[in-house]
Chain A
Amino acid sequence: MSADIPYKDALSIAALIREREISALEATEAFLARIEEVEPRVHAYINLAAERARDSAAGIDRMLQKGQALLQHRYAGVPIAIKDVLSTKGFTTTCGSRILENFVPVYDATAVERVSEAGTVMLGKANMDEFAMGSSTENSYFGPTSNPWDLERVPGGSSGGSAAAVAAGEAPWALGSDTGGSIRQPAALCGIVGMKPTYGLVSRYGLVAFASSLDQVGPMTLNVPDCAALLGVIAGHDPRDSTSIQQPPMDYLGSLSSEVRGMKAGVVRELSSEGIEPGVLDSFKRAVEVLEGLGVSCEEVSLPSFSYGLSAYYLIAPAEASSNLARFDGVRYGFRTDAEVDDIWEMYDRTRAEGFGPEVKRRIMLGTYALSAGYYDAYYAQAQKIRTLIVRDYGRAWESYDVLVSPTSPSVAFRLGEKTADPLSMYLSDICTIPVNLAGIPALSLPCGLSEGLPVGFQVMGPPLAEQKLLDIAYALEQALGFDALPPVASAGEVA
């Protein structure tokens, strides 16, 4: 029985536990066993929380036995993977960095608090590019994660650990964070569903900041209903986050509908032509045809400012990061250099030189430069103008279209090491996802097929707070496409 549990979606597991078909502890044990089996090949987690998970699962079982499960424990006993960028009270939170290798937070992120209130059981902290900077999870201090579809390939990033965990059956669902595509791109490369909600819909409190004006926590799941369910858990106003939107709670799952006839979709020309792999483009175009078959009218639309999105992003995000990461200085917590130093300035220098990896240093330098006296207007201020243009381009598009669509990633999963020597080519992996963050709008990626045996992601973007519409379209498309392929790692236990 329990061997069948991995690859069941989260809602099914929740139902099994609710119906007392299995216990919460059995569900957790099933995933821990699965992790033990595939983790040596996948490396989706930085730190496993096995004992803690067993304890909390057993606690939930006791509660269920006494009939004390509360209404809020909607997903009691369902295991979950948490990207290691979210603060977990009493459990190491590294952000994939040496500088926080042994850092144990004293508080829970709001999103973590909410999934825990919903009764979920944290299995561990998922691997990621250091401080969420990267598109392949190769920038983790703790080593890369492999793509369950091809262990020689990257899972995408920066939420590569979360995506690989779900794709490899090491967790039914996961939380990720998305600053320029960090949920959607790995979801696409690992063949799962991932959503970046509207900026401000999910509290950022406890999400270790990369680029504050772009970061957003979101769900990474096996399918669209799970995505709607998990979004419903984590969304909602939080007084601890000033940028949090005042919005009444939504029941995305309860409202989920595949009735999308009559909707209008714009196919973004700038994101679905040049620079997109032919295999990806084919798969994407077939999905667009399926969408039309569902009664969604699709036509090409041009959003010219998108061509500048990547450049603007690589000024704004590093600028904010250079400031956000200044607190990692060896003074109060985290890693501090062992070297003999003459003064505090040298302590700062050595600690940060030894504690941060090359990509983080690159972005801190980029951002510091972009904000420097004499360059601010030429770089940071200019990038903000592009951001405004992108917001306007989207705004115009919403006058004619319910949603916009594009491939999520210009390519399928690339080989480990293929792009590490060339940061620019790595940055291009996020070309389709970045404009969404710059505009603060919601977007979702769902698998739409395979190209050369690897998953292709289909991105749906919508106006602010149009999460329900995105989920509905994705749900309809998911059912119509019937994508149910499993990665080879699912049955490759004996191969390794």
Chain B
Amino acid sequence: MGFETVIGLEIHAELATESKMFCGCSTDFGGEPNSRTCPVCLGHPGVLPVANREAVASTILLGLALRCAVTPRSVFHRKNYFYPDMPKNFQISQYDVPLTSGGTLSMDMEGYTREVGITRVHLEEDTGKSIHIGESGRIHGADFSLEDFNRAGIPLAEIVTEPDMRSPEEARVFMQLLRATLEYLGISDCKMEEGSLRCDANISVSVDGRPGTKVEIKNMNSFRSLFRALSFEEERQRTELGLGHEVVQETRHWDDAAGVTHPLRSKEEAFDYRYFPEPDLVPIEPDLEWVEELRGRLPELPRARRNRFEAEYGLPGEISAMLTGEKALADYFEEAVASGQDPVALAKWIAGDLVALLNEAVVPIQACPVHPRGLGELVALVAQRIISGKMAKDVLREAFETGKGPERIVREKGLAQIEDEGELEAVVDRVIEENPDAASDMREGKEQALKFLMGRVMKATRGKANPELATSLIRKKLSP
């Protein structure tokens, strides 16, 4: 049987506007529960929504970045269902006339490019947050629930893709690219862990070209869990199909700890949303001038920047993709390049050791203790052979931990390499004298003896010997 996996995503990104979608409340994360609320976002009797122009602008910007068309006249709809985190028991959303639609996002996979169709990008309001107290941890079987409406009414951009992804890896890359896009546009905080970026997926497996049954997966809270959940589900559906079973159309919940998906109770999902046009809001009719002004504000987007990094700086594709995947990382790189050092070397240091240090310390690149200029110093020190590559790793770590510049560290610790041939020759001579057995092995052409002797030289110089110079001296003196 020829299986093909088909994946579409539905993503919600909280927009980083000053105020909420339909009222003046702050959108800041982390206030005391229910401190960022007012009668409007609490759904008090008689209140009315007023649409936030900044949120509309952000959504149009995102639509344009995803090559969508802007709808001349789009409308808000009410999506009706009861849930305690929704103050009005309806969500103001968009239905058949979204703000923007019909775009694409191209992503460079290894060896091929995937064009993912963007069905629509629309605007809606977020719900509050429930904490269910009781054994189940869910609303069913809870003893009671607590509601925090700080998040209720925060603008959400909803991005719906066509079912154009063919593997969990493509879905992950898509999400990363979309997150980068949101970040480049500066319209969302994009924190999956805090819930400001959320993703649901539809996945089916077609057999010999016959479309499979769609299963919706919810509760994937990181790129990793998105990949794991889809991989699990892909495997589960293939197994079912292989056994000749039908795949049931349903919504499944990803349990990250257990690493499995399981069906959600149907009652939580069996809603008829009874969409109808929101009578309290007027249609959004963005005038052409405004749309063009927004188009003019589009920054260089991740894929363009990646291509530029490859062309302009000669970066390898993988490193370029990694750096441009996070705007701040790419910015850091370009600041470091301004130091005049080799861009490839800089990029490798960032993508390798620096990112490892950042991850280890759980520090974002924006708060990196090593200034881009400092990284330039480090690369210069290595290029000028003042320190070895191995020493540079230690210097970087120390710079990261202390905030001191690499030059200063090298100076203070006297770490500069012994470049002086006379000085080094004396050390080599002494080492040969103290290790006659190894010396004679070396003379007999036994190459492993070189490693041993180099180790002795390094020990004697506390690692400061220029390794290439030391090697050539040993070879010269002990040639067979």
Contact = CB atoms under 8 A, between A and B. Distances in A.
Interface stretch (A69-77, A189-197, A207-215, A447-455): A207-215
Given A105-B44, A242-B50, A327 B88 contact: yes
Interface in A192-249: 204-209, 211-213, 239-243
B44 A344 contact: no
B263 interface: no
A84 to B, nearest CB: 11
The CB with the most chain A CB atoms within 10 A, among B39, B49, B82, B147, is that of B82
B218 interface: no
Contact of B44 (A320, A333, A348): A333
Interface in B105-144: 139-142
A371 B275 CA distance: 7
B280 interface: yes
A206 B82 CA distance: 23
A319 interface: yes
The CB with the most chain B CB atoms within 10 A, among A207, A242, A333, is that of A242
Contacts of B223: none
B207 interface: no
Contacts of B39: 105-107
Nearest to B274: A371
A205 B46 contact: yes
Given A343-B140, A348-B82, A213 B48 contact: no
Interface residues of A, number: 45
Contacts of B139: 343-344
Interface of A is mostly: loop
Interface residues of B, number: 34
Contacts of A492: none
Contacts of A129: none
Contacts of A100: 45
Interface of B is mostly: loop
A206 B40 CA distance: 10
B276 A380 contact: yes
A323 B49 contact: no
A327 B46 contact: no
Contact of B48 (A211, A240, A373): A240
Contacts of A326: 80, 82, 88-90
B272 A208 contact: no
Interface string B272-300: 10111001111000000000000000000
B140 to A, nearest CB: 7
B69 interface: no
Interface string A90-114: 0001010000100101110100000
Contact of B46 (A209, A373, A380): A209
A343 B144 CA distance: 9
A329 interface: yes
Given A93-B45, A208-B46, A241-B48, A331 B84 contact: yes
Interface string A302-334: 000000000000000001101100111101110
A427 interface: no
Contacts of B44: 87, 105-107, 333
The CB with the most chain A CB atoms within 10 A, among B39, B46, B50, B279, is that of B46
The CB with the most chain A CB atoms within 10 A, among B39, B47, B90, B141, is that of B47
B87 A327 contact: yes
Contact of A243 (B46, B90, B280): B280
A327 B45 contact: yes
A446 to B, nearest CB: 29
29 contacts: A86-B46, A105-B45, A109-B46, A207-B46, A208-B46, A209-B280, A211-B279, A212-B279, A212-B280, A213-B279, A241-B48, A242-B50, A242-B281, A243-B279, A322-B274, A323-B80, A323-B90, A326-B80, A326-B82, A326-B89, A326-B90, A329-B89, A332-B43, A343-B139, A343-B141, A344-B84, A344-B142, A344-B145, A376-B276
Given A109-B46, A332-B42, A371-B276, 10 more contacts: A93-B45, A105-B45, A204-B280, A212-B280, A240-B48, A240-B50, A319-B276, A323-B78, A345-B82, A372-B272
Interface of B: 39, 42-51, 78, 80, 82, 84, 87-90, 139-142, 145, 147, 267, 272, 274-276, 279-282
Q: Which 8 A-B pairs have the closest CB atoms?
A: A326-B89, A212-B279, A371-B274, A213-B279, A208-B45, A206-B46, A87-B46, A208-B46
